[in-house]
Amino acid sequence: MKRLRIATRQSALALWQAEHVAARLRMAHPGIDIELVPMTTRGDQVLDRPLSEIGGKGLFLKELEVAMLEDRADIAVHSLKDVPMELEPGFSIGAVLERADAADAFISNAYARLDELPNAARVGTSSLRRQAQLRALRPDLELLDLRGNVNTRLAKLDAGNYDAIILACAGLERLGMGDRIRSRLIAPEWLSAVAQGAIAIEQRVGDERVGGLVAVLDDADTRRCVECERAMNRRLHGSCNVPIAGYCVETESGLVLYGLVGDAGSGQLVRAEVEIAGRDRGVELGEQVASLLLERGAAAILGKLAVCRT
């Protein structure tokens, strides 16, 4: 009997993703014995400050990686957009599942679209990427921090704390809350987080048994696109401290990548779009778009943010 232990955060969305991976593995490997190992991470515990102030999205991974190192778990399941560009030594991405809807969702109880919001409306999001794009489109809005799981954020909206909030479509749809989406914010006008909508399986390097089990879930098309986006982000030294967005899609003959670096304070946006022939050149494309963004003014934005963080 094959046995596999999956480390996961305890939020409803994280548990859904872990259960989804478990169900896919059971279909691929009849008779496999799968156990979920739920745990709370520091990123889940500290909700009164933006992630950019407490160490970034890597805080969602640390406890899960420790569980793998201590042989309390064999793999960890993550939203790939929360996974740092460089993993801790000894870990790798064993599989990337087929991507769900990568768009952001505009959610409001009174308004159907972002452009329908009244002057000085209150919009909740702690994402610097979303804040930068909101300021560029609607500098009149009052942008307020919003942390917590999906249910918590929706409850705060329903309590009247905000006129609208921005969440990921994929998370809402996975939790059966797609009806809360009033409109989708889509590329190329609005860009989502790098790798948004994709689920990743993290494993220990060199664990051939586990690698063989999870490899069957790897979606080659999704991996090509998210590796392209992550290559851009890596070249820009991106993290949750930096408003970076990227979205790659396949064309008939290759790939196209839309990239963006923004300033959440001023709403300044630097954009680049490049199409390349050949679908095996994603990393090259990501680095090319990053270089173009830097040339067009992203270097100044990133430099200013680096000074602010020191």
- State the catalytic residues: 82
Helix (H, G, I), strand (E, B), or coil: what is residue 238?
coil
Q: How many helices (H) and strands (E) does the chain have?
A: 11, 13
Q: How many angstroms separate the Cα of 130 from the Cα of each of 126, 240, 244, 245?
A: 8, 11, 9, 9
CA angle 27–31–33, rounded 5-degree value = 95
Specify the residue for token string 């064999």.
74
Please state the length of the chain.
Answer: 310
Measure the CA–CA gap between 291 and 259, rounded to whole angstroms: 11
Measure the CA–CA gap between 82 and 80, rounded to whole angstroms: 5
The residue type of 233 is N
